[in-house]
Structure 1
């Protein structure tokens, strides 16, 4: 990656009982997820990027310096947009006028995103004359995102934009965020502590703990890394990308093909043959066998090769990294099972996948 298509950010700042010290090179396209537990420094880092938090360091966006050791571009001169957890809409203005507030700040010749485009991308056509008080939480957040886009930013920062929403509102807004991912060339930095959100939306991930970056890289490889610092969590696992190739409507199943095999998953009304989708396979849902066993309830049997084994992820628990074709997956087993089966890197095994979850 060259300076003209990357985001370089190096910041240091301290507070009582907490310090931030990060050095990042992020892709200048797609969505980068900042992931970690509450209090790890995700929002502080985002505020440093925006210029809202005083910090020493440097930042360059797509080849343009925003901060150096001797120069700091003020917040109002950084071409970015910031979407907060709370929408901060103007309550006395209609949806249309809220959107126009940001749009009119940009000279006509500098507008990169059209008003009608932003309205269509966020599904706001029928809401333009409504007042914020009459909108649902998900609708208000969609307005806030559209207003941010209409400032034609070079960088979009999103600080847990779904955290204040209930489950139904989250499910309502996620498809619109996916549409932005597929449509926009603007790089997006997306803060979340939800593995599901990051797995569904992001291309690149930065994992943080106690103000430090503990892992970063392309989403699929990083999630399935055996040294992933969050690998002992219940929702640790691998992300697979592939295609729906068949539907079994009688049994309510869909057949998913990826580079390395096929998996049946619960049929979803959103999918049809030919759709490109992402699915998650949790490490806790993958058991291993030395031979193929078809006389069992687990329907998904995939041949794989053991790539690595970490025997010390937790007392009595081992983590096995496998390759199905070129696709990495994880299996969490008892250390006793690893010893009894004689599992070693390079062995051919059968993965028995109990559950597969569609995420996009």
Structure 2
């Protein structure tokens, strides 16, 4: 756990301007390590909050501090260029008249000499950009430009990295190309990262802590594993409601292309990647891929059938034909989205032991 003095504290009030009905009211204490995702629909205040933290928005009152160093108070506001941040925008925003290498050197010359997040050689290797360093931005693909922009943000040796929907301008193919690099940054950087997105799959894959914004207010926040597995939240009622499950790889079968992780003395099979036996891995299980049975069916093609206990049930307020069931495998939550008719026919109730049949799982990392 992060102690109060080792955190990013943001307490802001931004009243709406004459031509807008939007206002921002937040009071947050965020972890000083790992990735905090700001999640919510367009217009919820995610980018505005990020710009306030960066010092790019001045129409607000409040306090901002990182590890007890005050950036903003009622009597003091550190200018944006003096705040020790790296900022990755939706567009790469590289200097068009400079090569990729010159863009990086621009950051190096302005780096915080008291802070060392990553070396030049390591960032070039991490983002696989050595071959494109001589090229100008107009010679690069969208994905390549964004990787150079990420490298530039890291090379200022920031104490905080802000990322404002860095994948939103890319097509699906380029997003899948960039995501592994983003994951490596998130795992490598020993600084807090605030990641803005309205894409649930990005948030699930990258975040450690999640803050949900709606109309300028915080409506939910918490550790990813806890928040995703809770009923009655915006996540459990999302069309792609999912949980993330972690476990140790205990078995592999190359001939079938499968690995198994162990979860409370039960196993979950998933498509084999680069993981090895003994590795800790995380998988995503979508609620729509989980069905329930009162008994094990050995004549089924579904590989993953876990004994679980019903912990809670929640009717979908937007679709009365559906019910979300929260299951526990040991102390690990799994969600199942089933029809209300099925819940009735099976006479499902809290405390009941059932078989969770998981049709598909996706390896995260």
Fold match, TM over 0.5? yes
In the TM superposition, 1:247-326 aligns within 5 A as: 247-259=252-264, 261-268=266-273, 270-313=274-317, 314-326=319-331
Partner of 1:47: 51
How far residue 284 of structure 1 moved from its aligned partner, in angstroms, is 1.2
Q: Aligned pair in 2 of structure 1 residues 305, 85: CA closer, same or farther (>3 Å)?
A: same
Two-structure CA RMSD over aligned residues (Å):
1.9
User: Helix, strand or coil for the counterpart of 2:240?
Assistant: coil
1:133-172 equivalence runs, <5 A: 133-172=138-177
Cα shift at 1:267: 3.8
Contact 1:303 1:349 in 2 (8 A): yes
Instruction: Look up the match of 1:37.
Output: 41
Q: More displaced, 75-84 or 167-176?
A: 167-176
Normalising by structure 1, what TM-score?
A: 0.93
**Contact 2:112/2:157 (8 A) holds in 1:** no
Match of 2:212 in 1: 207
Matches within 5 A, 1:89-108: 89-106=94-111, 108=113
Query: CA offsets, 1:247-277, max 9 Å, x none?
Result: 3344433323334632222344x44444433
Could you tell me how far apart the structure 1 residues matched to 2:242 and 2:218 are? 20
Contact 2:117–2:189 under 8 Å retained in 1: no
TM-score normalised by structure 2 residue count: 0.92
User: Alignment partner of 2:5: what SS?
Assistant: helix
Q: What 5-or-longer segments of structure 1 have no aligned partner?
A: none
Aligned length: 359
| Larger deviation, residues 292-301 vs 134-143 | 292-301
Shift of 1:114: 2.2
Q: Distance in 2 between matches of 1:6 and 1:76?
A: 21
CA deviation profile, 1:45-80 (whole Å, cap 9, x unmatched): 111111111212211111111112222222112111
Matches of 1:93 and 1:227, distance apart in 2: 50
- Which whole-Å CA distance do the structure 2 matches of 1:22 and 1:261 have between them? 42
- 8 A Cα contact 1:34 1:192, kept in partner: yes
